Structure formats: structure tokens, C-alpha cells
Structure 1
Amino acid sequence: MSIELDLRLAGEGTRFRIFPQPRFLKKADGSGPLFPEPEVVVVNVEPSAMRPGPGDDRMFVVDAVGKLPYKDFFRPPWRGQARPPVRPGPDGHFDHLDPATRDFSAATMYATVRRVLDIWEDYFGRTIQWHFESDFDRLELIPLIEWDNAQSGYGFLEFGFGRTPKKTIDHSRPYCENFDVLAHELGHSIIFAEVGVPASPLDPAIDYGGMHESAGDLVAIVASLHFHSLVDYLLDSTRGNLLTINGLDRVGELSDSSEIRTVFNNQRMSEVGTEPHDRSLPLTGAIFDTMVEVFQQDLVAKKLISEELRERSTHLPGSAIDLKEIEAEFTAAYTGNEAAFKESLLVARDYLGRLLAITWSNLSPDFLTYHGILRALLRADRELTGGANAAIIRSCFAWREIAPVPTSLLVRNHTVASCGLDAAAYHPAAPADPAIDPQQIPAPRPERGNFISPRMI
């Protein structure tokens, strides 16, 4: 969501409170909760348009009683018994709810999904129509079923609870309060709506599957960067040095194997297989690296860090001494300039959101490849910036080894002969006119082996 829209919603939307990350996460020293209090967020629905549930014209919560998880022959809408819908306070808002209550959990699920949808509709610049619109007009949200799992499906999201070490249901960890998980699942719905699904049974959809999981992670991380408390923690922990190993370790503490951890990874294509979650890591890393590079580029432009420091932090020198020097220099640059660093990160966040929205809007799901996504990102950057960040995108994807596969027609050499053309046809014999000197007839041009010059990445 653009910074401008967020400011406007503060006076027009409906208020809720949600935790930026699960409330069970502890500080690094174990002294207490990492985020002890929920943060106020505002959704793009006026209080007068809110419905009990909570709900609106796009989605609604139903707190089902005695429900089993939906399966292939058991789908929405839920027609069984449900608890009374959550209602707003006297002022029309929901930020009065006690975090210790079931009503808070139900309202949090609605607020999270609605907030994430608002953010991405702003980046797309239009309404995202549900992929299930032929059957349902609203997304059904079921917050707390007695189940140690969660799932998204055709027209619904239903969440249970985490598991204890003994594999039983842990009622202290409701999935409906986990912002990352909810945002990730909504990310799948956005891709189904905007990209679609492969049409050919001959399409193995290997990169399509990886793209789907990557998109879910990226939808979650961009949305989570709209929490001021999380952004402040991220920058205070890393001093803006988001690409060093120290930064990876510190940010990894933020989540228990959720999306914030997966965007900070060093995986390359040669190190992953075909399983969608595994394969998503290089693509997610390349795109997130692009945002960080744009962030640091803005710091250089504002003379907050030097180009030389940016280069050293990007290429990750191998010695511990170098890393400590980089950390010390970022600390010196960040101290006293915290607001400016935050502004640069939020600008980079919004650039990435718009870049992805344009890219996803123009992808075909059929025989999708990561190289095709790279080219779509470059086209999107030309639309947004005139190609100002093309070099950054190329370098981030090159490091991740994302390139055309060796068998791709894009990198096949084409000679004149392989194209069925006769080189001699371009150099006919000298005419019989005695006025023409045969020595003046140009020699045949040397054959060019490549129409597309190959690059080793």
C-alpha cells in the first residue's frame, strides 16, 4: 500500500488491532514477547459499510461450531451452527477487543486478510476479482476449528491451531492470529486470480509451482513491512545492513520458520529441486534482494552511506573482519538517521509491490519459467522507472543462477545455413558488363554464429 493511501485511510477506514508476528515469539534474550501489544491497523472499509462478523462485501467471518475441515465433497458455504458474529464498538470500530478473547481472534483473521487485500489492490491499482467469483461473491473466513492445521481453498480460508511438541493441538497458537500465514495463503488466491493456472496437461508446471509459493512469501513480507513496529525492529536490529550474514541471522529470529525467514536465503538454482517450496527460494531471494538493493541505492543517493560500503555489503566479503567493519560502518551511518533509513525502506517496499503487481498482471501460467518472470520484471521496471533498476534486477537474478535453460530455443545458435539460406545467393557472380571491375565486388561477409550472444552466468 502506498504511503499516501495509508495516510488517507487513517481518517476514513475501520480500526482493528493485530499482532505483527505471533505473540508467542520471544526476544533474543528470552526476556519477554517480541511484540507484546497488537498494533492498530485501518482497513479500507468505512465503519458504516462494516457488517457483523466482521464482514464486508468481499469477505466475512463465520465462527463455526463443531465443524470438520472442508474436503473435496464438503465445501462452502458453511450451513451449520455458528457463534454470534463479532460486532463493532459504539464508534463503529473493532480496536476495543480484548486480545484474550475469541472475538479478538475472529476479528484479527478478518482484519489481516482485509488489510493484505487492501495493500495489494492498491499496488495493482484496481480490484482483484476472486478466482472463485463464478460461484461465490465473498471469501468465507473460518477462524478457530478444532484442528492442528490450516488450509485455503476454493472460496474459503479455515484455520485451526499449531501443535505441541507431543503433536497435540496447542490452543495458545491459533493460526488465525499468524499474520504471515494468513497473508501467504491470500497470496495464493491473488496469483490464482491474476495469473491463472496452466491449461495444458503436458505442462509440468515446475516453475509455476515455485512461483506460487514465492508469491505467497512475497505477498506476506511486503504486507508485513506495513507494520511500523516490525520495520523499526528490522532496522534497529540490522542498522539497515540487510544483506550481510549477521543481518540474516538477526532477522531469522523474527519468525518461527515462516515467510520472513524464507526471503532471507542464499539458495541458488543449482541447490534446489522441483518441490515447490524448495524451488521457490532462489526466486524469492532474487526478488527480495532487488528490493534491498533499491533500498541501499536510495541510501547512497541521499548520501547516508557510500557507494563503496554498498558494494562491500552486497558482495559479502568472506572474512569475519570485513563483516565487522561493514557492521560498524552501517551502525555509524544509521545512528541519528533512523527516520531517513526508514523512509528509504518504505519507498523500496512500495516499488517492489508495484513491480510485482505489474509483473503478475502480465504473466501467462502456461509453460511458465523463471527466466520468463525475469523478463517480465524487467518490462515492469521499464514501465515504472524507465529501466533505472534493470542492472540491479539482472545482477540479483544472475547471482541466483536464474537464466534460460541450456536447451531453450532462446539460446540456440542460428547459422545462415541452419536457417536454410544460401550464403552464395548474397554474392552472385560478377555481371558480364566489361565496365565493372571484378576486383571491386565485395568479398562474402563472414558467417555470424550467434544472433543472441550467450552470457555465462
Structure 2
Amino acid sequence: MSLELDRRLADVGTRFRIFPQPRFLQKADGSGPLFAEPEQVIVSVEPAAMRPGPGDDRMFVIDAIGKMPYNNFFRPPYRGAARPPVQPGGDGHFDHLDPASREFSAATMYATVRRVLDIWEDYFGRTIQWHFESDFDRLELIPLIEWNNAQSGYGFLEFGFGRSPNGTTDHTRPFCENFDVLAHELGHSIIFAEVGVPASPLDEGIDYGGMHESAGDLVAIVASLHFHSVVDHLLEATKGNLLTVNGLDRVGELSDSREIRVALNPLRMSDVGDEPHDRSLPLTGAVFDTMVEVFQHDLVAKKLITDDLRVRSTNLPGSVHDLTEIQAQFTSSYTGNEAAFKESLLRARDYLGRLLAVTWSDISPDFLTYHGMLRAILRADREITGGDNAQIIRECFAWREIAPVPTSMLLRPRTLTSCGLAAAERAPAPHGRGHAIPSPRSDGSALPAGRS
């Protein structure tokens, strides 16, 4: 599982440095950048198998010159002018690059996508084949085009820059250095590859669209928890009380105040409409809540917190006094037990990663519903834990109002009459060879034929 991933790669993979979160994010007290220095990551490709770009047999970077964004009439492969590919250092690694250089941005895009793919292939337990494999063998990564947007598409990811407050391009905020945004977009590719797309033109795909956006966010959340700096910052800020607003729930931040998604949200299905990003929020929230509950149950099992504290923090009491008291108790429990809290969080992270991989391998895109997703998640939990977390999952999804729609055939009762059994009971027994139809007892069971 993923706890072993970095140990396996330490001596064989290629080193890069990337920022866990955008470098422009500031500490809460305004004293400086939240993540001032890039963090080393090791990807699964050996230095001898790396190609300039950077690139490998699954993906490659091409730093295009003067390129317009791809559209319905202009698609990969890119054959225009490009800057020279980024070269590794003398030792075959790319961790020597200056964070202020364009080469660092290009290498960051590759390293992020490769790292996220490594993480999720580890959870799937196999190679994730590209959904565009019939046309391309490698994913094309274009890091820095003059565009204040970013997009993923059939065989490519291309990223521009953020926007300044007046709407112009802000070259200090390249999207290709935003780990969450890249991970989210790769999440879409994973869903296309593993789940597919609806086949029927009659399928409106309302829940399918919400699932897609939710999956992108969840891919990013789980992957971001593979940075020790992110995990340490998260636990230090919350003392393990993950239902407080924290860094993890701000997926794909574009600035200190603007967010693309919120995993920790209060939304239920009755609060959202059909727009995919909006509709994704209850599903993301239910899955995130499940991870938090698994984390806190593990803390209880290790006697690091009491079950009473777990219940009160989960239910989120409404008074400021309650919230203050809950945080104080978490702080007391966390102090001196930091390593044990971190171990529990990493275990919950890996459980969630495996749970999602098994679920996404199981579901059909055709007429997909959130209730069908819930049943697939329960099946996945039975495969992974024997069903140990089934009640946690049911409660988290029930609170989000994820259930069969009122008109679902699943909710229709079936009587003996509707099954045709009452009419059969009144029919005379056939003559000659054959058997009489059993008559029901008063308790609903059947008597053997021929007895009264």
C-alpha cells in the first residue's frame, strides 16, 4: 500500500522538487509563505529511463512557443516551435533546478503528474491505461502557454497562468506549479480510463458529472496528503480535529481567499442543483467525512481520544463554547502523541485511496446515480475490511441525503398480488402428473404440497 511507496522508490526512482501548495499562499499571521521551499519527491521512473523534457514512456513535457490553446479543431500532437527540453543533472536527477527558472516550472508539471499517477496506480494495484491509448501512447504536458486558464483533454494537459484582480494574466501564478489543480485534472483522466463515459444518448449523466468533479477533488486531496509537510502542517494546525476548517479542505487554491472546491462543506443533496461542480460537493463531503470518521475511530481504538470526544466533534455542536472545548480536548490529546496521530491519519488516507480505487473499478458510467456509488463503496469496504466501516459509510452518506430518489423502483413494495402469486394460490391444482402449488401459512411460509 501507499505507506510503503516512498520506501520502495527511495533508492530506484528519480528525484524532483515541487511545491506542495502554491508558493504564494501566506501563513495565517502574514509572516511569510506557507510553503516557502519546494519539497523533494521521488517518482517511479529510474534515472536511466528518464528522457529530456522531462518525459518517460507514459508522458512528456513540451514547452511550446507561441501556442494557442487546443480546441475542437486544433488537437494533439503539437508540432510547432518549442524550447529545448529540460535536462537532468549529472546524476540523472532533476532536483538541482532553480525554483525561479522556467525549467523548474516545466519539471514541476511532469513531476506532479507522474507522482500523482504513481500514487493512484499504487492504490489500484496495477497500471492505469490512458483512455486515449488508441491514438497516443503518451500524455502531452504543455506547461506555460500565454493564457489565463488551464485545461485537460484527449491526450493532453495544458496550463497557463492565474488572473490578477483586474483580470489580466498573472505570470507569478503559473497553474503548472499548482499541485492540486494538476492532480484534479489528472483525476478526470483516471475516471475516463477506469469508469468510462455513458453510452446512451438518453442518459443525461447528472450524477455522473458530479461524480467526475468529486473524483478530481478526491484524487487531489489524497495525493496532497503524501507530502509530509502538508500532513504535519494540517495536524499542527488542527491537533487532529479535522472537522475544523483547515488546509486540506482548500483544494486547488487560486489565492489566499479564493477556492475551487471545499471538501469540508455542510451541503446536502437538497442544497445543490444539477451543475456538476455544485452537485459534486455533497458526494465529496460524504467521502471526506468517511475518512475523518475512520481516522477518529482509529484514535479511539488506540485510546488517544475518547469516544465521547469523537461523537461530539463529529456532530459539530453549534455553540462557540462547545467548539472551543472540543478543540481544547483535541489539543490536550495530540500533545505528546504527534507521531501516533500522524500514523492514524496516514492509515485513514490509504484506506480512502484504496476504497476509491476499488469503487471506481467497479461502477458503470451508464445511468450512474449517487446511490449506486454508495452501494459500490459499501462493496469496496467489504472487499478491503470485511465491512468494518459499513456503518460509518452509511451514516456519512445518509447525512448528505444520498439515497434512492423517491420515485426509484427500489423503493416500491412488492406484494403477492403484484408478483402474481396470489392468483396462483387460488388456481386449482393440476390433474395428473405434476405438483400442487404450495399454500402460504399465516406466518408467510409455504406448506408442503398436498398438506392442509
| Paired residues of 1:211 and 1:280 also in contact (CA < 8 A) | yes
| Paired residues of 1:312 and 1:326 also in contact (CA < 8 A) | yes
| Paired residues of 2:53 and 2:85 also in contact (CA < 8 A) | yes
- Shift of residue 444, structure 1, vs aligned partner: 4.4
- Shift of residue 322, structure 1, vs aligned partner: 1.0
Distance (Å, rounded) in 1 between the aligned partners of 2:248 and 2:127:
33
* Counterpart in the other structure of 1:29: 29
Distance (Å, rounded) in 1 between the aligned partners of 2:425 and 2:167:
76
| Paired residues of 1:62 and 1:140 also in contact (CA < 8 A) | yes
* Counterpart in the other structure of 1:210: 210
| Paired residues of 2:43 and 2:115 also in contact (CA < 8 A) | yes
One-letter amino acid of the structure 2 residue matched with residue 268 of structure 1: R
* Counterpart in the other structure of 1:432: none
* Counterpart in the other structure of 2:436: none
Which consecutive residues of structure 1, in runs of 5 or more, have no partner in the other structure? 430-440, 448-457
Distance (Å, rounded) in 2 between the aligned partners of 1:348 and 1:381:
13
* Counterpart in the other structure of 2:277: 277
* Counterpart in the other structure of 1:194: 194
Correspondence for 2:245 among 230, 248, 252: 248
- Shift of residue 156, structure 1, vs aligned partner: 0.2
One-letter amino acid of the structure 2 residue matched with residue 357 of structure 1: A
* Counterpart in the other structure of 2:15: 15
* Counterpart in the other structure of 1:381: 381
Aligned pairs for 1:64-213 within 5 A: 64-213=64-213
Task: State the TM-score, normalizing by the size of structure 1.
Answer: 0.92
Distance (Å, rounded) in 2 between the aligned partners of 1:85 and 1:279:
41
One-letter amino acid of the structure 2 residue matched with residue 342 of structure 1: K
One-letter amino acid of the structure 2 residue matched with residue 200 of structure 1: S
| Paired residues of 1:68 and 1:145 also in contact (CA < 8 A) | yes
Query: Match of 1:422, SS?
Result: helix
| Paired residues of 2:234 and 2:246 also in contact (CA < 8 A) | no
* Counterpart in the other structure of 1:335: 335
Distance (Å, rounded) in 2 between the aligned partners of 1:334 and 1:288:
21
Percentage of identical aligned residues = 78
- Shift of residue 252, structure 1, vs aligned partner: 5.4
Query: Match of 1:393, SS?
Result: helix
- Shift of residue 258, structure 1, vs aligned partner: 4.2
Distance (Å, rounded) in 1 between the aligned partners of 2:160 and 2:78:
16
| Paired residues of 1:359 and 1:376 also in contact (CA < 8 A) | yes
CA deviations on 1:263-296 (whole Å, 9 max, x unpaired) are 1111100000000000000000000110110000
Identify if the C-alpha distance between structure 1 residues 75 and 253 changes in structure 2 by more than 3 Å, giving closer, same or farther.
Answer: closer
Identify if the C-alpha distance between structure 1 residues 443 and 78 changes in structure 2 by more than 3 Å, giving closer, same or farther.
Answer: closer
Distance (Å, rounded) in 2 between the aligned partners of 1:253 and 1:396:
20
- Shift of residue 318, structure 1, vs aligned partner: 1.4
Which consecutive residues of structure 2, in runs of 5 or more, have no partner in the other structure? 430-438, 446-452
One-letter amino acid of the structure 2 residue matched with residue 195 of structure 1: V
Distance (Å, rounded) in 2 between the aligned partners of 1:136 and 1:160:
23
* Counterpart in the other structure of 1:403: 403
Distance (Å, rounded) in 1 between the aligned partners of 2:382 and 2:151:
37
Query: Match of 1:11, SS?
Result: coil
| Paired residues of 2:355 and 2:384 also in contact (CA < 8 A) | yes
- Shift of residue 421, structure 1, vs aligned partner: 2.3
CA deviations on 1:351-380 (whole Å, 9 max, x unpaired) are 000000000001100000000000000000
- Shift of residue 420, structure 1, vs aligned partner: 2.2
| Paired residues of 2:13 and 2:43 also in contact (CA < 8 A) | yes
Distance (Å, rounded) in 2 between the aligned partners of 1:197 and 1:339:
42
- Shift of residue 442, structure 1, vs aligned partner: 8.3
1:309 maps onto 2:309 in alignment:
yes
| Paired residues of 1:160 and 1:174 also in contact (CA < 8 A) | yes
Distance (Å, rounded) in 1 between the aligned partners of 2:18 and 2:403:
40
Identify if the C-alpha distance between structure 1 residues 442 and 372 changes in structure 2 by more than 3 Å, giving closer, same or farther.
Answer: closer
- Shift of residue 416, structure 1, vs aligned partner: 1.1
| Paired residues of 1:28 and 1:253 also in contact (CA < 8 A) | no
| Paired residues of 2:119 and 2:223 also in contact (CA < 8 A) | yes
* Counterpart in the other structure of 1:219: 219
Identify if the C-alpha distance between structure 1 residues 442 and 158 changes in structure 2 by more than 3 Å, giving closer, same or farther.
Answer: closer
Aligned pairs for 1:409-448 within 5 A: 409-422=409-422, 425=425, 444-445=442-443
Identify if the C-alpha distance between structure 1 residues 276 and 338 changes in structure 2 by more than 3 Å, giving closer, same or farther.
Answer: same
| Paired residues of 1:238 and 1:250 also in contact (CA < 8 A) | no
CA deviations on 1:398-440 (whole Å, 9 max, x unpaired) are 01000000111111111111222226817989xxxxxxxxxxx
Query: Match of 2:15, SS?
Result: strand
CA deviations on 1:149-208 (whole Å, 9 max, x unpaired) are 100000000000000111110000000000000000000000000000000010010000
Distance (Å, rounded) in 2 between the aligned partners of 1:403 and 1:302:
33
* Counterpart in the other structure of 2:44: 44
1:268 maps onto 2:268 in alignment:
yes
One-letter amino acid of the structure 2 residue matched with residue 339 of structure 1: A
Distance (Å, rounded) in 1 between the aligned partners of 2:444 and 2:81:
80
Distance (Å, rounded) in 2 between the aligned partners of 1:307 and 1:295:
12
| Paired residues of 1:124 and 1:358 also in contact (CA < 8 A) | yes
| Paired residues of 1:181 and 1:258 also in contact (CA < 8 A) | no
Q: Following superposition, which runs of at least 4 residues in structure 1 exceed 3 angstroms of deviation?
A: 249-259, 426-429, 441-447
* Counterpart in the other structure of 1:368: 368
Distance (Å, rounded) in 1 between the aligned partners of 2:384 and 2:222:
18
Task: State the TM-score, normalizing by the size of structure 2.
Answer: 0.93
Query: Match of 1:151, SS?
Result: strand
Distance (Å, rounded) in 1 between the aligned partners of 2:7 and 2:365:
36
Identify if the C-alpha distance between structure 1 residues 251 and 6 changes in structure 2 by more than 3 Å, giving closer, same or farther.
Answer: closer
Distance (Å, rounded) in 1 between the aligned partners of 2:362 and 2:298:
27
Identify if the C-alpha distance between structure 1 residues 239 and 442 changes in structure 2 by more than 3 Å, giving closer, same or farther.
Answer: closer
Distance (Å, rounded) in 2 between the aligned partners of 1:77 and 1:302:
53
* Counterpart in the other structure of 2:448: none
Query: Match of 2:406, SS?
Result: coil
CA deviations on 1:231-276 (whole Å, 9 max, x unpaired) are 1111111110012xxx1266557834446x5211111000000000
